[in-house]
Structures are given as C-alpha cells and as structure tokens.
Structure 1
C-alpha cells in the first residue's frame, strides 16, 4: 500500500499531500531523503531506502525541472509496488497543468489523484499479465512488449503527448531521474551517443579520453613541466631518475639544525617548543588564502567549450540552437556533454562509480528544462556539474573544533579526537600537525599512544610529544587500546588538559579483529570527533576504504545509533598535482567533510580544503 505522496517545491514549500493514504509516517523519511540524497547529488538513483525503529520505507521521486517541483512517493519496502513509477509520471503530468506559482493550496487535485492511482494500478496488473503471457516468446519480442506497455499507452501517463517539460516523450522514457535504462535498449536514438567518439558525429579525431590527456598536457606545460619531452623520451627520463637517486646527497639540502627534529636527547628541554615555533612558523590553517584571478582560465574554458560544441553539433547547428532558445533539454541531448565530463572526472582520480552517479544526478536536474537564448548545452551541463560539486564539498554541518574545544572546557571535560585509517597514511605525523595548530591557539594538548599493535608506534609518538613539549599517555604494547584511551581521558581530566588526541593502529578495512577493537574503542570512550586519515593519491580505493570503515563501525556497534566517521583528514595532498578526485570520492561516499589537508612534512603543513579550487581543478 502506498503510504504517502507529496508534491513540494525546491525551496521546501509543500503544495499538496494525499490525506487518504494510510497512517502517519514513522520517523522522518522525507527530511532524510532531502538531506542524504537530493542535497548530496544522489538524485539520479532509482530509489532510497529509509530505516528507522519500527519503519522500513522505500522512497521514489521525480522532478519537474522547468517548474521546480519535486514529487515523492513513500511505501512499505516489503510491498514492492510496481505502479509507483507510472503513478509519479502521471501525477507530474496532471499537476503541471494546474500549477500556478501564486497558489499554495491544491485541494481540487484530490479527485484527479484518485483517478490516476486507479489507472496506474490497472496498468500494473495488465503489465503483470503481459509478462506472464510473453514468457515463451523470444527476448526481443518480450522487451518490445514491455516497452509498449510502459510508455506508449494512456495519454495520462505523460508518455504519448508532446509535453516537453515533463521529459516523457513517448519513446519509453517514463521517468526523469534516470530510471529508464531498460527502455533505451530498443530506442534507435540511444545508440547514437555510443557511436560518437572524440566529440564528432562525422568521424575523425581522437576519442574523449585522449582529448582530456591533451588538456592535462597543456595544464602541466603552463606550470613549467615539459610534458612533450616526457612522452616522447620516456626511457631516457627513467634512466635519469635512477642516476639522480644514486648521486643524491641528503646532507646538502637543508641546514643541519632543521634536520635535528627527532633528537631523543635535548639539554635545553623547555626551550624546545620555542625552537619549533622559530623554525616552523605559523600553521597554514590560520593563513588567509588569496584568491587568484580566474579570467584567463574562464576564457580558455569558453574557447574549449566552443570548440567541443562545434565538433559535436556543427557551427551552424550550435549557433541556431543558441540563438533560438526555448529548447527543451532531453536526456539524449545531455549525454555527449555528460560523457565528456565523466571522462574528465575519471582522469582526475574520481572513482568511476561516483562519476557515473554524479552525471546521472546532473541529468536528472537538467532534463525537461528549457535552454535559454545564446546558451550552449555543454556550458549548461558544465555549470550544473560545478554547482553539484560545490554542494557535495560544502559541509552539511559546521564543525568548528576551536569552538567545540572551548565548549567542552566550560563543561569541565577534555575534547577527544580519535584518528583512524589504514596502514601507512600518516596518522601519527598529522596528529602532531593538529597538536601544533592547537598549541598555537593556547590550547593544552595530551597525546594518547593507543597504537599498541605496530612496533615503534609509541616511540614515534613520543618523539613528536618531546618536540612539541606536550604530555603523552602510554602503556606500552599488547594492551587493549580501548582501555588505554579511557585511562588517558581520565588522566587528561585530572590534569585539566583541553584536548586528547588518540593515535590508533593502522588497519585494513577487511581486518575483522582490528576493526572490532576500533569499534570497541569508539563505543567505550565516545569521542567528540572521529577523524578518518586517508591519502589524497589513493584513487578508487578511497570508496572501498571509507564505505567499509563506516560499515564495520555500524555492524560491530552494540548500540542502535552507531558512531561513524565525523570528518576526513587528507594527507599527501602536495603529491597529486591536479588529480584531486580522491577528496570528492571520500566526501561523496561518506558524507563527512574534509576538515584538514596535509600538504608537507613540517608541523605547519596543515591547511583547510578550498572547495572552489578543488572544483576548478576537477573541471578544467
């Protein structure tokens, strides 16, 4: 049974809801859908599953992009209602005829909805019978039959008319949010974008991947790197690197005083922190970023868009469409530009799965919109993708550590931060960078050596503590890290330390015993912040790491509300050039913001993530 159907604007104004559909919803599935799916650019998904105590719902939705309306249907997950997609399409078509931006009440739509619901249920039953009868027939005939019954039937379905704003043109596109992949199998127009290579319809030229490589070469040549030489003389470069490694002399690079950071014996003692401050200077976290001029890059982008658009559609065709305006965007029109964007994102280390979902979400937000005058499809898609990436990288909630530290201090308890992650990503080093930044804000810090698994981990953290002149709590090796962390927090409470930074052992996401120990540490101590430390150069593995860390923490938790990752610390950011896709992949898969970025080896090399610069690097 359908539980609820709502119609609301993108601004959040509820225009109509059905009062005859069952009882009130348990929990807040609509709010969760908006917060976790629509605002996070997951609107291209087929459905969303909502779980709450005593409730398990499936939510489906569609958009009317021209009018800015969202249609959401909610039903019990166990029912698997077949008519929901068709019902949403018909409701969208009928409601768009009544919609007036000045109206806020649509009580007269109740009778129309009851009729549409009956028609959708009858058509679903007919589709079931058609499937049963068509089983002995060949696969192609069966698909053709499904195609006809899904989109070319009743006029109320919005599939047989020319209502371009609905995005249902009668060739089987029954939904606007990317749920019609099966329908396109027999659509002759759907094969055209697959044949196109290199952005040309008439043959010739390189494919899209090669085009992106050339752009990357131009980018690196601007930065002073000789890419052409590297490509044409690869063997010589490899030989040169080997010779350079053999002849490198480490003693001649920096002064000897700066290399003596980890000396276990220091006669000056208390003067050590002053030496660090003199050598390192101010942390990059507190430096204001100077925005660079983007006029040159914007002009280059306009030229590139014009060239690619000319290759795809021809000069006269693109000029006519741009001047004419009022062209309704369809999915087939968007596919070439989205394919180029997907390839571009993948060359910047964005996971393929995430690049695909982003393109589906952008297509869902643009399909049915009218193209303005003097506007190209490629530039429209580019702007929509830029807005989507900014929304993803912008934190959903504000996490101000300094403010939260002072709030915890007023309550008489220390602020606890736990650093987790896989092996070798630099948890201990970046923990020391965070400690240095906090010390600059006159916040007392205690380190807790809870990596009781790896040999040398306690000594490494002890060295950082000696350099920064902060206390360290340690119990040696082969101890329970959860108990060590608990005792460290108790010690910090007695000594009135403001912050406890907990170092944990590196563990792979598939290591069950270590993941269970981490879950126990988080559950027993309930830290204020759980930071996942990941490498910026990890690529597609970032999705697997973060998703499995969160999944393990949820599965191994003994409470219903499992504590998951709160934020991300991205390390080795200075080693990736413009391939910044791992940051996007991590934020997209976890929903947690990137709070710190490690960009060097010294204590000051810790900065904030600039979302605009990341988006600019991803799309250029």
Structure 2
C-alpha cells in the first residue's frame, strides 16, 4: 500500500500530495530524505530507508530537471511494492504536461493519479503472473536441452560417427578440460585450437631439441664471448683513467654537548626540577584567526578546462560537439554525460578521493542533469564540471554552525564546562592537535583543562603532561590502567570546581575493528555526554578514511546503551601540509559521516591549526 506521494519544486514549494486515507506517516521521512540524501548529493542511489518508532519506510524519487520538480513516493518497507518505479515515471510524464509555474494547486490531478495508480498496479500483477507461468516452462525447456545434448550430440556412451568410444577420442584416456582432435593415445594429444609441434629429422619436437632456438648451452657461450669482448674494449680504452672511488670519511665521535638550537627540552634547575616554560607568548597568533586569501585564476582555469574538454570529447568529435554547443541540445541524456563524468571520476580519484565516493558523486550529478536542456554555446563537459563544483561546495560547506567560541560562552553562561572528546585511530596526532586547540582557545582568553584519558598507551600521560607544562594549562590525570570514562567524569567535576571553561579529553588511539576499545569509548561518551566529539584523521589515508569513519560511527551507535546514541560531530584533519594536491580525504570523510571539517592541522608548532577553505579544496579537486 502506497503511504504517500509528493510533488514539490526544488525550492521546496509543495504542489500536490497524495495520502492514503486514515494513515499518517510516523516521523518525518520526507524532511530526512531532503536533508540526508538530496542535499548531500546522494540522489544517485535507487532508494532511501527511513526508520521511525513503530514504522519503517522506503522512499523512492524521480526528478524532472528541466522543470525543477521532485517526485517522492513513500511506502512501508515490508511490502516491497513493484509498481512504484513505473508509477513515478507515469506521474512525472503526466504532471509535466499540465505543470504551470504560476499555479500553486493541482486538485484536478487527483483523478488522473488514481487512474495511473490502477494502471501501474495492473501492470505489476501481469508481470508477476507472467513470471510465475514462465518458471516451469523454462525448467522443462532446460531439461529437454540437456537431454538433447547428453543423448544425441555424443554425450554419455552414445555412438558418435560409428565410434563406440566416449568423448576422449577412443583411446580410453579421458582428458578433462579440452577436446582432442587425434584419437591416438601413443602420440602427443593436441587440444582443439592448439598448433601441433613440428617433428624434426631426429624425431624430437622443436623447442625441446638441443638444436632449437632456445639452446641453453649456446646462450651461455654467447654470454661468455660477449663478456670477453667487453673486456677487450675496456683494455683498448685504458688510456682513459678510471674514476677514483670516493672513500667515506670516518665519523668522529666526540663528547661535546649538543648545540643549543637543537635542544628543545625544558630547562632544568639546580635541584633537578624542570622549569615550566611559557611558550604562549613566543609562538605567535594561531592560524585559526587568520583569513586565508583565495585567489581564483579564472582566465588560466578557463583555458585549461577548454583544452581538457577538447582533448576529452571522445567519440563524438570536435565538429559535432561544437555544433551541439552552438545550437544547444534538446535534453541531455545519460549517454551524453558519461564521457565527461568518467573524466571527472578519474580526476577525483587521482586527488585521493575514495573510488566509491567518486562514483556516487558522478551518479548524483548525472541524476541532476539528465533531461536538462543544454544552453547554447555551452559544452557538455563544462556543464558537468559546473554541476560537480556546486555539488562539492554543497557537501563541504557545514550545514550547521561550527563556531566553537560561541558554544563555549553559551556553556559558560549555563555554569557548565564545554567538553570536547578527541577520538581516532592510532598515530594520527590526537594529543598534538589537542594541544593546538588548547593554544588557540587560550588566545581567546578561555581557561582550558586537559584530561589524560589515554590510560592504555605507554607514555601517553607523560606526552600530554609535557604539552600542559609548556602551555601552562592544568591537567587532570589518574595514571594508567584506569577506566577512561571515570577519569573523564572526575576531570569534568574538577573543571566545574576550579572554574575551567573547556575540558579537552584525550583518548587512546584504537582501530575501528577493536571492539573492546570501541566499547570503552562508547561508554566514555555515554557517561559524560560531551558537547563535541572530534574525529582526528589523517589527510594521507585516502580510501581508508571511508572505512574508519563508517565503522567508528557504526560501533558508537551499536555499542551505546542509549536509544539515541551520540555519533561524530566534527573532523580534525591532520598532516594536511604533507599531501600537496591530494586533498580528497577531506571530501571522503565529510561525505561518509556528514560531519564538517572543523580544524586542519598543517604543521608541528602550536600555531599550525587553521580552518578548511572550501573554495580552495574544490578548485584543487577539479583542476
């Protein structure tokens, strides 16, 4: 039973709605579809599943790109309605004929829809019956074909051309996998399609005789002769003095102390105690507060894209593509878009975008352009690139506010510390980038406290203690082999007592498949309900970013005792200065999780933390 069918514009204006009488949708499946699928460029998928308390729905949709209309059908997932796709295409065709941009209501479409629904249901029933009738017929046909092959065409032990032998040629030696042409078992068997080896006068086959082309002894003699000749050549040219070998100088070990400029350890007093060094005044301003200047070289970019488009026009040729760009095309078809989309997919993959993500993006762009009219003097490739650029900007632009400073002040007014938990796999730089975030918050006159909740890795507490000492920030620690959830809870209580504005919680690095550690992380988040969960990931990972983020979110959801589990809220991308133009990991992470990139680590000092420049990333991905 169809629950609802909705027709609305891309701007969000609802034109016509069908609802099953007496049934009301649970939750908000249409809003969730728009927010989680259509706006995130996932419209290339076939359907979307929505789960609500007490109901599970499947949503299917179709676009009319030329008119800017969206058609969405909702039905119970358990029903598996077969006629929905046909119904959507029929509704799309009929409604497009009566659509007028000036009209806002279409009550006269109710009767037309009822008729279309009956036709689609009848068509689905006929197809179902034809499949049921066709099954036994196909089985009997297959049996007859098998009997013909086994009983008539030489199968089994039947006679073939008067020969009472089997299919092995009559010599009793059955060889599996190839059909023999000669029936003599004493000779070499030759497979069908193989070239028989020629027999020479000595009775040996070519390729195995000592006089053959690949004689090993002759080959060794030729090599030895060649070696002598090269020796003669060297001796004749002995007038030229050979280059002298460069001998390695012996290393001199001395007990002199290291140079001061290479010594980055904290100074030590006469009593042996380390002196805390205040580096906050020496490091300078954090890059988070500096606006990155983005210069768009539009002229050179247009020239480059023009060259690429001319080079990648493919089978259509230069003349036909130029004629289409001048005259315009009635409606773009999928076959017209495939060459340009394939080139874009390859380009995204060279920039370290995961293959699965690049393919889904291309499918979504194709769905948004199919049926659209191509403007005059416009190439298909440039139209596809413009659509892809819009899609990338829409994906990378945060859909919610990521102003942490505002959220910190709001939490301060409520009398609670703002809690940030840093999670991620091993070795991505969680502790180092936690210190960078602490330094940035310090510059905005916000009191920070660190919580050493990595009680698993040796040296983790000492590493965080060093950062806290250099930044003159209080740290809460309980040592190793403690429950990190309890340590974080006590740290938050301590911050509440001493008036700290922000608590930065450092957690142990863990692989996404390590269930015991993921269970401990899920418990930490459930017990302490942090304000922000930051996933720290490397910009170098590429395809592995998809697996990491997907499984982190999946484990946090599955292992949490809460019915509404907390998932990853934001991403901190590290080692961004080491990847050159391979910036695709940022796109893959945002596309998979839907969480924005809130920080980008781009160096080894406390100031090397900045915001993600969306325009720069998109330009780099498409150039």
**CA apart distance, 1:298:** 1.5
Which residue number in structure 1 is paired with residue 164 of structure 2?
none
2:415 aligned with 1:425: no
Q: Tell me the distance in 1 between the aligned counterparts of 2:266 and 2:348.
A: 41
**CA apart distance, 1:311:** 4.4
- Aligned residue for 2:135, secondary structure, equals coil
**CA apart distance, 1:255:** 8.3
- Judge conservation of contact 2:266–2:275 (CA < 8 Å) in 1: no
Find the partner of 1:451 among 446, 454, 471. Answer: 454
2:264 aligned with 1:260: yes
2:22 aligned with 1:28: no
- Judge conservation of contact 1:2–1:21 (CA < 8 Å) in 2: no
**CA apart distance, 1:257:** 4.8
Q: Tell me the distance in 2 between the aligned counterparts of 1:575 and 1:64.
A: 43
Which residue number in structure 2 is paired with residue 618 of structure 1?
621
**CA apart distance, 1:136:** 5.6
Find the partner of 1:320 among 323, 330, 345. Answer: 323
**CA apart distance, 1:309:** 4.6
**CA apart distance, 1:129:** 1.8
Which residue number in structure 2 is paired with residue 9 of structure 1?
9
Which residue number in structure 2 is paired with residue 156 of structure 1?
none
2:423 aligned with 1:384: no
Structure-2 change in CA distance of 1:21 and 1:336 (3 Å): farther
Q: Tell me the distance in 2 between the aligned counterparts of 1:402 and 1:36.
A: 27
Q: Tell me the distance in 1 between the aligned counterparts of 2:431 and 2:315.
A: 51
1:319-358 CA distance string (max 9 Å, x none): 1101111431001111111111111111111111111110
Q: Tell me the distance in 1 between the aligned counterparts of 2:609 and 2:338.
A: 40
**CA apart distance, 1:486:** 0.1
**CA apart distance, 1:415:** 0.2
**CA apart distance, 1:555:** 0.4
**CA apart distance, 1:97:** 0.6
- Judge conservation of contact 1:63–1:70 (CA < 8 Å) in 2: yes
Q: Tell me the distance in 1 between the aligned counterparts of 2:138 and 2:369.
A: 36
Structure-2 change in CA distance of 1:263 and 1:579 (3 Å): farther
Deviates more, 1:261-270 or 1:447-456: 261-270
- Judge conservation of contact 1:264–1:463 (CA < 8 Å) in 2: no
Find the partner of 1:487 among 487, 490, 493. Answer: 490
Q: Tell me the distance in 2 between the aligned counterparts of 1:138 and 1:332.
A: 34
- Judge conservation of contact 1:447–1:503 (CA < 8 Å) in 2: yes
Q: Tell me the distance in 2 between the aligned counterparts of 1:127 and 1:22.
A: 30
Structure-2 change in CA distance of 1:29 and 1:258 (3 Å): farther
Which residue number in structure 2 is paired with residue 130 of structure 1?
130
Q: Tell me the distance in 1 between the aligned counterparts of 2:622 and 2:305.
A: 12
Q: Tell me the distance in 2 between the aligned counterparts of 1:534 and 1:446.
A: 23
Which residue number in structure 2 is paired with residue 46 of structure 1?
46
Query: Any unmatched runs of 5+ in structure 2?
Result: 143-249
- Aligned residue for 1:407, secondary structure, equals helix
**CA apart distance, 1:21:** 4.7
2:129 aligned with 1:107: no
Which residue number in structure 2 is paired with residue 526 of structure 1?
529
Which residue number in structure 1 is paired with residue 119 of structure 2?
119
* TM-score (structure 1 length as normaliser): 0.79
Q: Tell me the distance in 1 between the aligned counterparts of 2:486 and 2:316.
A: 66
Structure 2 counterparts to residues 131-280 of structure 1, below 5 A: 131-135=131-135, 256-257=260-261, 259-260=263-264, 269=275, 272-273=277-278, 275-278=279-282, 280=283
Structure-2 change in CA distance of 1:581 and 1:21 (3 Å): farther
2:464 aligned with 1:461: yes
Find the partner of 1:406 among 399, 404, 409. Answer: 409
Q: Tell me the distance in 2 between the aligned counterparts of 1:306 and 1:547.
A: 35
Which residue number in structure 2 is paired with residue 346 of structure 1?
349
1:149-190 CA distance string (max 9 Å, x none): xxxxxxxxxxxxxxxxxxxxxxxxxxxxxxxxxxxxxxxxxx
2:333 aligned with 1:330: yes
**CA apart distance, 1:308:** 2.6
1:505-544 CA distance string (max 9 Å, x none): 0000000100000000000000000000000000101000
2:604 aligned with 1:601: yes
- Judge conservation of contact 2:310–2:318 (CA < 8 Å) in 1: no
**CA apart distance, 1:307:** 1.9
Could you say what the CA RMSD is over the residues aligned between the two structures, in angstroms? Answer: 2.3
2:567 aligned with 1:564: yes
**CA apart distance, 1:399:** 1.6
Q: Tell me the distance in 1 between the aligned counterparts of 2:268 and 2:42.
A: 51
1:179-211 CA distance string (max 9 Å, x none): xxxxxxxxxxxxxxxxxxxxxxxxxxxxxxxxx
1:415-468 CA distance string (max 9 Å, x none): 000000000000000000000000010100000000000000000000000000
1:105-140 CA distance string (max 9 Å, x none): 00000000000000000111111122223336779x
- Aligned residue for 2:264, secondary structure, equals helix
**CA apart distance, 1:268:** 9.0
Q: Tell me the distance in 1 between the aligned counterparts of 2:309 and 2:566.
A: 49
Which residue number in structure 2 is paired with residue 375 of structure 1?
378
Query: Any unmatched runs of 5+ in structure 1?
Result: 143-245
- Aligned residue for 1:509, secondary structure, equals coil
Deviates more, 1:473-482 or 1:130-139: 130-139
| Higher percent of residues as helix | 1
Q: Tell me the distance in 2 between the aligned counterparts of 1:550 and 1:449.
A: 23
Deviates more, 1:395-404 or 1:301-310: 301-310
Which residue number in structure 2 is paired with residue 97 of structure 1?
97
* TM-score (structure 2 length as normaliser): 0.79
Q: Tell me the distance in 2 between the aligned counterparts of 1:269 and 1:67.
A: 71
Deviates more, 1:282-291 or 1:501-510: 282-291
Q: Tell me the distance in 1 between the aligned counterparts of 2:386 and 2:561.
A: 45
- Count of matched residue positions in the alignment of Structure 1 and Structure 2: 510
Which residue number in structure 2 is paired with residue 549 of structure 1?
552
- Aligned residue for 2:129, secondary structure, equals helix
2:77 aligned with 1:82: no
**CA apart distance, 1:306:** 3.6
- Judge conservation of contact 2:352–2:584 (CA < 8 Å) in 1: yes
- Judge conservation of contact 1:447–1:473 (CA < 8 Å) in 2: yes
Larger radius of gyration: 2
